């Protein structure tokens, strides 16, 4: 398990980068308080920070599922058997920048630009 060091100002640097990038995005104001709360909490282990972010993203997307930790990787989904594939063709959504859409860039990008509606956008 990887430990997190707080000897540098990485939290402030990441939050500043997110704010300067997404401050004009229509839904970033709804994400910002949760991101600040999670990133300002001092987690000892990277897995704990990742889990907090993962659970918050699920909450933003209104995904109601149990998440359990495991000591080893468990491959629960047989993609071909279930008629699905983990690679999803992500449809473009409006960007706040003057750059082309980059599929799969970041869930934060998608949520800041489209809000929780993004899950319906990807599924439709």
List the chain pLDDT tens, one digit each, 124 residues: 899 999 999 999 999 999 999 999 999 999 999 999 999 999 999 999 999 999 999 999 888 888 888 777 766 666 666 655 666 667 787 788 777 887 778 889 989 988 877 766 555 4
- pLDDT score, position 17: 96
**Crossing angle of helices 46-60/107-114, nearest 10°?**
30
Angle at 70 (CA atoms; ends 122, 76), nearest 5 degrees: 50
Rounded-to-integer distance, Cα 124 and Cα 117, Å: 11
CA count, 13 A, side-chain hemisphere, 80: 0
**What's the pTM?**
0.80
- pLDDT score, position 85: 60
């Amino acid at each position: 398990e990887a430990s997190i060091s707080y000897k540098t100002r990485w939290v402030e640097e990441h939050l500043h980068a997110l704010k300067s990038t997404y401050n004009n995005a229509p839904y970033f104001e709804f994400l910002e308080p949760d991101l600040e709360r999670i990133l300002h909490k001092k987690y000892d282990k990277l897995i704990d920070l990742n889990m907090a972010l993962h659970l918050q993203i699920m909450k933003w997307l209104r995904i109601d599922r149990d998440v359990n930790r495991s000591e080893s990787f468990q491959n629960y989904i047989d993609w071909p058997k279930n008629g699905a594939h983990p690679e999803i063709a992500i449809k473009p959504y409006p960007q706040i920048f003057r750059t082309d859409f980059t599929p799969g860039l970041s869930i934060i990008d998608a949520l800041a630009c489209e809000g929780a509606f993004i899950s319906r956008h990807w599924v439709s």
